[in-house]
Chains A and B, each alone.
Chain A
Amino acid sequence: MGVEGIGAKVLRKEDRRFITGRGRYVDDMSVPGMKHGAFVRSPHAHAKIKGIDTSAAREMPGVIDILDGQQLKADRIGNLICGWAVSSKDGSPMKMGAYPALADETVRYVGQPVAIVVAETRAQARDAAEVVMVDYEEMPAVVGSEAALADGAPQLHPEAEGNLCFDWEIGDEAAATSAISGAAHITRMKIINNRLVPNPMEPRAALGHYDPAEDHYTCWTTSQNPHVARLVMSAFYNVAPEHKLRVIAPDVGGGFGSKIYIYPEEIVCLWASKRTEVPVKWTSDRTEAFLTDAHGRDHVTHVEMAFDADHKIVGLKVDTKANLGAYMSLFSSATPTYLYATLLSGQYDIPAIYANVKGVYTNTAPVDAYRGAGRPEATYVVERTIETAARELGLSPAELRRKNFIRSFPHQTPVIMNYDTGDFEATLEAGMKAADVAGFEARREEAKGRGKLRGLGMSCYIEACGIAPSKAVGSLGAGVGLWESAEVRVNPVGTVEILTGSHSHGQGHETTFAQLVAERFGLPIDNVQIVHGDTDKVQFGMGTYGSRSGAVGMSAIVKALDKVEAKAKKIAAHVLEADEGDIVIENGEVKVVGTDKKLGWHEVCLGAYTGHNLPDGMEPGLKEGAFYDPQNFTFPAGCYICEVEVDPETGTTEIIQFVAADDFGNIINPMIVEGQVHGGLAQGIGQALLEGTHYDEAGQLVTASYMDYAMPRAWDLPMFKVETLVTACTTNPLGIKGCGEAGAIGSPPAVINAITDAIGNNDLSMPATPEKVWNAIHAAS
């Protein structure tokens, strides 16, 4: 490893613009003639639109135009799509409710866009939006998945009888049932995974610009995957032809999944720009973000985990009701099915697993992937259940887990996934050592003396990253391939541009991707420019989510670098009259091994472009592209241990220590990996202790601002202890597994297991607010 190569702690190249206030986010963008859009949104969770009167609003100062769903329909703008087709167990396809970008007949969640006002200023647009009179006929609403499935529940979509979008299953029901019926011990739990609002700090924004002179469209948008946005907007929404649409996702202030999807607002801003012939910018305020960003989680699960007399798990049955919200979002069918139930084997050798998942429509914001996307829900089910089982069986939680660890690889689970590698014993050991589990009982006693209840909780998670082998996901219903592309352009002076289909919205790609070039050619990372987030510059890409930028995006870069290296060596061998196999590239020099013959890297690059002395038949230039399609998912895994103190007087929980021992495979930049873990832990701890999304019975979102929704603040969190161990991934060239989501996946059960250990009551749901904890203490005593 060089000072800037793979494995080096390199400070981030991108930081300078952010710390000096020179970042460029969508809301910072301005183009000549730009006007502002504000959305008229439904104040009701469920209502018929009887009419829209814009006459008073049109008289307001600065108003240019007001457009609604009837005009959108007349212009044949297509309904929003779901990109993953899931079938029910009876073979029928999922039941899609029609989702127009502006509601034309019915609104089904509070905040659903109904019309857009375009005005000279943002304030004028918002003033006028408040004056648009929409005549609603209110209808009964339903917000919970169990209530929505009940007889007599309000019905959302004519296409989905009983509000059931799909009734999906995986695994062998007969085998799991039989294993459970003959088991020595069965642990049964009802587990709720609370609904979360992703809350990247940058609210969503879109700037649509139609240029009549060129008949060309540009959309600046807060996207994790601008190419997918362009594809979907052109192929399905009919907003603009793909070759006439440029989508730019510049600096994006966090995503966590919520900026994967193509939302109504960017479609409408582009369409409105065409209609009004002015550029239209809309920026979400925080309450709009709460109301309309895709939410996460919201599962209600019944689980049965069965053990034989030797405490080996013999069967697992899971029944989950997943709240989908009012409409399907881009990947909302995959999140509670293939990204969830395929991880229910956890780190354990379980012979029989069966899961049934019902996807349910409710009068709430659409629910889709949020940091972890299905894997946190699976991990929470498995890790809370096994910890509870250990308590019921009178075993230590570590002992019961050890007894059931998968110890040989590759391992085929009963739920599709084939784990290539891992060492669960090693991460458990590392976690227990770092957490000083051996000394815990003494600390518990000491806390008792101070009137505090101290508890220790563990979580041994596994997740699937690097989404995903295109053929495999295609067979499971994905509408796209999930490869990644890269292009390496070497300039005549030897500097390098990497064009990638991955998108950085906090992950530090401008640094880590440059480290690959430093490693390969010995060039300083300052000589490498990473280009991303612009469909006019990068040919295509699938974007960044599911911790895929390392395992998939960087693998594509490696493939392209292989081709550049091969060509550079051919040129050097020709010039130096040496054998191609004897050429090595290191420290910015291209050398003949074992001799003093060499060329500077820049000389080879210049030679490629002058074309004066190339091998016969070789094309000039030094630019190569590659597409990388993964062979398998990757499987990061680890052990998280949380230690808490609960004040029995108030029910408040303090996290005394949080240890993360992760196996992410090989690591490019340990500083960035640790930062990713910290952020994931904060979101997972936030879910466990603080974050609750609450709709009232009428479907009003009660927690729609930072005064009502408890975001984790600095005061709520400790310094984290992060350890990393390595078993290299066997299925990609860098041996990378991915690190972006682990913290959010593994931490919630560790926190809840710690609190339930402290208070002696397993019946506790997230977020474990002081009120809930206090009640649980008193229910137990």
Chain B
Amino acid sequence: MSKVSMTVNGRTMTGDVEDRTLLVHFLRDTLGLTGTHVGCDTSQCGACVVHVDGKAVKSCTMLAAQASGSSVTTIEGLAKGQELHPVQAAFKEHHGLQCGYCTPGMIMTAVDMIGRHGASLDEETVREELDGNICRCTGYHNIVAAILSAAKSSGSQAEQPIAAE
């Protein structure tokens, strides 16, 4: 067993976990943050993407122990109270989700992508960078539209800070 301690959505969280426990299972099973999903077990689908120290990470690829000491943001930590993060709002506005299962990972990936590229993000880059996020419902059309729209209204600067991190 390992003792892990990390900041999750701005709060310090600790727990005793088996050494093999993945970050996603710590978040879901120990902390009850079930917004982060498991879709494939092989780090292909991206339903489990969270931010670790400001970078998008597949939480099924990382041990909880590896994340100990880090700052983690999950989908639950993105909105400021009732105020949606602009990327969340863009997904709703552009109908970028249907069943909602891939959505948390998509949004966390998109926030990271927009943070790095800012308003210069183009369709080709969005599609290329979504390589690690699979959606079976939307055909990606409206996800791409949502991300481009959020990027455009993010202003021109890259490296935009992320809420709660």
Instruction: Knowing A202-B101, A707-B44, say if A21 contacts B141 (CB, 8 Å).
Output: no
Contact: A715 with B95, CB < 8 Å? no
* Stretch touching chain B among A9-17, A426-434, A643-651, A768-776: A9-17
State which of A11, A674, A679, A711 has its C-beta within 8 Å of the C-beta of B92. Answer: A11
CB proximity of B139 to chain A, nearest CB, Å: 3
For the complex, give the distance between the alpha carbons of A27 and B142 in Å. Answer: 27
Instruction: Knowing A506-B100, A717-B140, say if A21 contacts B36 (CB, 8 Å).
Output: yes
Instruction: Knowing A123-B20, A201-B39, A711-B134, say if A20 contacts B76 (CB, 8 Å).
Output: yes
Task: Say whether B33 faces chain A, with CB atoms less than 8 Å apart.
Answer: yes
CB proximity of A702 to chain B, nearest CB, Å: 15
List, in ascending order, chain A residues with CB within 8 A of B33's CB: 21
Contact: A675 with B39, CB < 8 Å? no
For the complex, give the distance between the alpha carbons of A24 and B101 in Å. Answer: 10
The contact string, 1 if C-beta is below 8 Å from chain B, for chain A 656-697, is 000000000000000110110011111100000000000000
Task: Say whether B34 faces chain A, with CB atoms less than 8 Å apart.
Answer: yes
Contact: A717 with B139, CB < 8 Å? yes
Chain A, interface size category, equals 35 or more
Contact: A714 with B131, CB < 8 Å? yes
The contact string, 1 if C-beta is below 8 Å from chain A, for chain B 56-85, is 000000000000000000111011000010
List, in ascending order, chain B residues with CB within 8 A of A285's CB: 41
The contact string, 1 if C-beta is below 8 Å from chain B, for chain A 280-313, is 0000011100000000000000000000000000
State which of B35, B78, B93 has its C-beta within 8 Å of the C-beta of A23. Answer: B35
Contact: B91 with A506, CB < 8 Å? no
Instruction: Knowing A11-B92, A671-B95, A679-B137, say if A202 contacts B44 (CB, 8 Å).
Output: no
Instruction: Knowing A19-B107, A202-B39, A675-B98, say if A711 contacts B76 (CB, 8 Å).
Output: no
List, in ascending order, chain B residues with CB within 8 A of A200's CB: 99, 101, 136
Instruction: Knowing A11-B93, A19-B91, A715-B131, say if A678 contacts B141 (CB, 8 Å).
Output: yes
Instruction: Knowing A19-B88, A678-B139, A719-B144, say if A706 contacts B134 (CB, 8 Å).
Output: yes
List, in ascending order, chain B residues with CB within 8 A of A254's CB: 98-99, 101, 136-137
Contact residues, A240-256 vs B (CB, 8 A): 251-254, 256
How many pairs of A and B residues are in contact by the CB < 8 Å rule? Answer: 178
Task: Say whether B18 faces chain A, with CB atoms less than 8 Å apart.
Answer: yes
Instruction: Knowing A19-B107, A706-B45, say if A25 contacts B127 (CB, 8 Å).
Output: no
List, in ascending order, chain A residues with CB within 8 A of B123's CB: 719
The contact string, 1 if C-beta is below 8 Å from chain A, for chain B 16-35, is 00101000000010000111
Contact: B139 with A201, CB < 8 Å? no
Contact: A506 with B142, CB < 8 Å? no
CB proximity of A362 to chain B, nearest CB, Å: 26
State which of A16, A679, A705 has its C-beta within 8 Å of the C-beta of B136. Answer: A679
Contact: B39 with A713, CB < 8 Å? no
Task: Say whether A28 faces chain B, with CB atoms less than 8 Å apart.
Answer: yes
Task: Say whether A515 faces chain B, with CB atoms less than 8 Å apart.
Answer: no
Task: Say whether B156 faces chain A, with CB atoms less than 8 Å apart.
Answer: no
Number of residues from B at the complex interface, CB < 8 A: 54
The contact string, 1 if C-beta is below 8 Å from chain B, for chain A 112-141, is 000000000001000000000000000000
* Closest residue on chain B to residue A256 by CB atoms: B136
Contact: A15 with B97, CB < 8 Å? yes
State which of B18, B40, B100, B130 has its C-beta within 8 Å of the C-beta of A253. Answer: B100
List, in ascending order, chain B residues with CB within 8 A of A681's CB: 139
* Closest residue on chain B to residue A255 by CB atoms: B99
Contact: B98 with A508, CB < 8 Å? yes
Contact: A16 with B131, CB < 8 Å? no
List, in ascending order, chain B residues with CB within 8 A of A252's CB: 99
For the complex, give the distance between the alpha carbons of A682 and B18 in Å. Answer: 40
For the complex, give the distance between the alpha carbons of A16 and B138 in Å. Answer: 17
For the complex, give the distance between the alpha carbons of A507 and B137 in Å. Answer: 9
Can you report 18 residue pairs joining A to B where beta carbons are below 8 Å apart?
A12-B95, A19-B88, A19-B91, A21-B104, A23-B100, A25-B101, A201-B45, A252-B99, A286-B42, A674-B95, A675-B98, A678-B141, A679-B138, A682-B136, A706-B42, A706-B45, A713-B133, A719-B123
